[in-house]
Structure formats: C-alpha cells, structure tokens
Amino acid sequence: MKKTYTIQIILLCVTIILFSGCKSEPTIEQLKKDEFTPYTNLSALPRWRGFNLLEKFTFQGNKPYREKDFKLIAALGFNFVRLPLDYRCFVRGGDYTSLHENTMRELDRAVAYGIKYNIHVCMNFHRAPGYCVNPPREKTDLFKDSGTQEKFAMLWAVFAERYQGVSNEYLSFNLLNEPAEIDSEIYTQVMAKAIQAIRKIDPNRLIILDGLEWGRIPLKKLPAATIIQATRGYDPIQLTHYKADWIKNSRQWPVPDWPIYQSYSVYLYGPFKQQYRRPLIINCDIKKQTRLRIKVHQVSQLSRLLIRVDDEPVFDKLFEPGPGRGEWQKEVYAEEWEIYQNIYDKYYSATIPAGTKNIMIDNTEGDWLTIHEIRIEPFTEEMKSAVVLEPNVFAWGSRQNELTISSQGKLLPDKRTALYDAHWLEKDSLKPWILAHQRGMPVIVGEFGVFKYTSHAVTLAWMEDFLKILKKHKIGWALWNFRGSFGILDSNRKDVQYTGFHGHKLDTKMLELLLKY
C-alpha cells in the first residue's frame, strides 16, 4: 500500500505542476545569449536520466516535438531527452549547407522546451549520410567514402553554427548511432573529422560518441578531449527484443525469463570467425543406441558440420550454399559481402552409440551456420521422451557452451555454463563501461529497455537489476522511448494494469522503478 500511495502522490504533484505556470519558452536567438557552460571538467556533469523521443527518428515519421512530452518528463522528475534523428528530415536536394528550415525550427523548439523545463537535449544522428544500423542501407559508405565523410562533417558543422552559444547544460551532440563491424581506428578518424568541424565553430560543444559494435565496446583512444561515451542496455538480446519485428527469427526465440539459464548459441562459428569459434559440448551417459537430429537453419558461404562422440566422428557434412536450386529451402545472396547465406531449415541425423559420454558439435571449415534445434531420442530406461534443446543465445559473437544432460533427460546446471543474471550484467556485459567510468571517462546508456512482448514481470525484474547497477556506478540512462512499445506511456503491453494519465495509459510499476533508480 505504501508504494501505491507514493506513486499516487507523485502523479497528483505532476498534475499540479502541469496546470501551474512555467517560465516562457525562449527563442533560438535568446538561447544563444545564455551564459555558456563549457563543462571542460566532465566530472561535474549531472547523472542524466530520461527518454528517447522519436519524432524525427525516421524520414517517413517526421513530426514536430511535443511540448507536453517535455513538461511531463520534467514533472515526473527526469532531466534528459535524446533525439534520434534521420538526416533526411533535414537535408533537401543534397545541399548539406542549407538545411530544411521548417524542420530545423521544430528542432529549435525542442531545445527551447529543454531549457524551459530544465531538461538536457542530446541530438543524435540515428541515420547519417552513409550509415544506419537499420535498413534500408545507405547508397554510400560513411567509413569508406571521403565525400560522404565531408557531408557528415558538414552536417554537424551546420548544427554547430546554429546552436553555437547554447549552454552545454542543455545541449550535446551524439554524433552517430551504434557503429557496427567498424575498425576502431577508422571509426575514430571519421568521427575526428566531424568533431573538428564542430569545434572549429563551437570549441567547447559537449560531444558524445557511441561505443563500437552497436555501442557494446568503449573506445580505448578518443579522437579529442572532453568526450563522453555512450553504451546500450539491450543484453541479453533474446529478452529485450523478443518478437521484435525488425530482428530476423525473433518470434521463434524461447519465451524469455530472468535470470536466464543458458543453453547454447544459435551460431556455430567456423575458422573464418576464429575469434568466436568454440564447439558445442554435450555431456551425457548414453545407455542405449540412440539418434541425434540437428536442425540447420542458415549457412553462410561455407561450413562443415562435424559431430564427434568421445572423439570419434559420426557425422561429417560440407555445406556450400550457392545460386539456384539445391538442398536449401531458400537462396539468400548477401550483396554486402558478395556471398550466399542460404536458408536450409532441415534436420540432419547421426547415430549415437551406447556408452557415449560426450558429444561434440563443431564447425570445422568456413564461416558460420545456425542451429535451431537439437533432438536426442531416449537413451536410458528412465527417459519418457526425447531431449529437445533449443538455443537461447542469439547475440552475434556469442561463443558456444558446455551442457550436461541427466539420465532423466533434464538439462542440468553446471559451473561451466553461463547464467544471465545481475552478476553477469555487472561483471560481463557492463564491465568495460564501468571500468571506463571509474577511470574518469563519463559514460551514459543512450538507449535501453525491453520490447512489449516480453512479460511485464520479466521486464521489471531485468530492468531493476540493470538500473540498480547503473545507480551503483553513477551512470545515467535513457529509456528507448517515452511513449510506445518500450516506454512508460502507451506501450500496449497486454499484461499491464494501466493508469489513465493526461490522455495516456501509464505503466505505473515501470515508472516507479525508473524513479527509484
């Protein structure tokens, strides 16, 4: 009752604030006259907590920002918004020096709302010239094409000039969203060009760089001084992005729980990905001859699937996807790498002799393949049905595991297997960022959250563990959205008892959790 009473008081206070007066909205010209706060001492930065606002996240959905959002966010006690931007909302006809004025005025108003309600605004190009983590793919490559790099730097220079003099207390530039599969030196060089263009105009502008590999790995060497780094809070992906329609096969993932007992990775890497390669080991005590069936879903360019029992091969098959018809179900040509990554979606069988203690499943040649199921027929008298093992690790680069199956056909806990829990979040997933923060590098989690199809109970359990770690290490955060499928308003989760709130459906339990941390 006490918690419910507390949140009711908070919501009542928010209502009072919303209907009370606020300082007037300044114009962009007035913003530039404010005293500039350089934040050259980054240790003085506040701990930001807030939300991403998605009005200009895509060109197709380009809309003005809502003052009501800023007013609600501030009234609820938060101090930060991140604005993921699609550069196509601003650029017209290929002219990067003169941006679309109506759209820029809408962005001006977002900065003005930030100052009006004492909220820091972080501008980020989610889609930049030559790069976006989401489809469609850009026609040029930001990290290979010098002309595109000039456009990227030019775009930020225009922003720098427009907002020169706006206090760092209220505005920062987060240059590029989630660089993926990019060499750190190349990434640093390209970002350095944009930073130089910004600081030639606005020497003290506060700049944020996302880490490498979708924001998972912090840069060891920064291209300039007084830079903040940003990471993500989406691990483990099979929990946070369950049934996400923008991720292939996510609807086939197991129903997520928290903590997660790891079975095995969907990826079986070969020598072409040696840094991720590790065979899948299954420890068991096969009392009678049985059959193992393995469902191979997708194969990238070349793979050799080898199954050994007690070091003796019982299955050896070379997969060579290519054009036209074959044993695959669907031809998939990856134009980016000029290779075939065909869908097989077929079972392959191996006989497992009695007396087997150890089964090793390996990819001994080529790139990678994905496994969607391993089925072992009963191999002891106690077993009533087949053992069905499904992957529950879907993150790229995840190495394989070692499993133990009991004589009853149950998957047993094992010290050698990973457990996704609060300890794992702190000591594995977030560890490099915590260390960077402790060594004086300011860090913020620019995005985090759980998509609406993961159960509310599991979502809140994961979020509490994640947020508790961030608070412990004084790291700020921004939930992916305020309104929508990750947010506290209008998320359309089917297992939430919502509270009516100023024309929205409020997830009070999630709000209470965010306020706590």
The secondary structure of residue 265, as a DSSP letter, is B
Residue 419 has pLDDT above 90, yes or no: no
Same domain, 32 and 125: yes
Which of the listed residues 388, 417, 446 is the one where a domain comes to its end? 417
How far is 344 from 329, CA to CA, in rounded Å?
A: 5
pLDDT in tens, 207-264: 999 999 999 999 998 888 889 999 999 999 999 999 999 998 888 888 888 988 778 9
- Report the pLDDT averaged over residues 13-17: 67
Same domain, 78 and 182: yes
Same domain, 267 and 371: yes
Same domain, 289 and 403: yes
Residue 39 has pLDDT above 70, yes or no: no
pLDDT at res. 416: 54
pLDDT at res. 249: 80
Q: Which of 27-36, 54-63, 99-108, 409-418 has the lowest mean pLDDT?
A: 27-36
**Model confidence at 392, in pLDDT bands (50, 70, 90)?**
confident
How far is 109 from 28, CA to CA, in rounded Å?
A: 8
Indicate the SS3 state at residue 67. Answer: helix
Residue 440 has pLDDT above 90, yes or no: no
* 467 is a domain residue: no
pLDDT in tens, 184-200: 999 999 999 999 999 99
* 131 is a domain residue: yes
Same domain, 81 and 173: yes
Residue 151 has pLDDT above 70, yes or no: yes
**pTM of the entire predicted model:** 0.77
pLDDT at res. 336: 86
Same domain, 212 and 302: no
pLDDT at res. 367: 98
* 322 is a domain residue: yes
The whole domain housing 370 covers: 263-417
Residue 296 and residue 319 in contact, taking contact as beta carbons nearer than 8 Å: yes
CATH of the domain at 31: 3.20.20.80
Residue 17 has pLDDT above 90, yes or no: no
Residue 496 has pLDDT above 80, yes or no: yes
Residue 36 has pLDDT above 50, yes or no: no
Nearest to 149 by CA among 135, 131, 134: 131
| CB-neighbour burial class of residue 357 (10 A; exposed 0-12, middle 13-18, buried 19+) | exposed
Q: Cα separations (Å) of 408 from 353, 390, 411, 416? A: 18, 18, 9, 21
Same domain, 348 and 201: no
Task: Say which residue, 250 or 512, is predicted with more confidence.
Answer: 512
The secondary structure of residue 259, as a DSSP letter, is S
Nearest to 297 by CA among 348, 351, 243, 366: 348
Q: Cα separations (Å) of 387 from 284, 352, 411? A: 11, 14, 9
**Model confidence at 415, in pLDDT bands (50, 70, 90)?**
low
Same domain, 210 and 292: no
pLDDT at res. 1: 45
Q: Which residues, in sequence order, are CB contacts of 117 under 8 Å at separation 6+?
A: 22, 70, 71, 73, 74
* 447 is a domain residue: no
pLDDT in tens, 258-316: 988 778 999 999 999 999 999 999 999 999 999 999 999 999 999 999 999 999 999 99
- Count how many domains the chain has: 2
Same domain, 153 and 270: no
- Report the pLDDT averaged over residues 89-105: 91
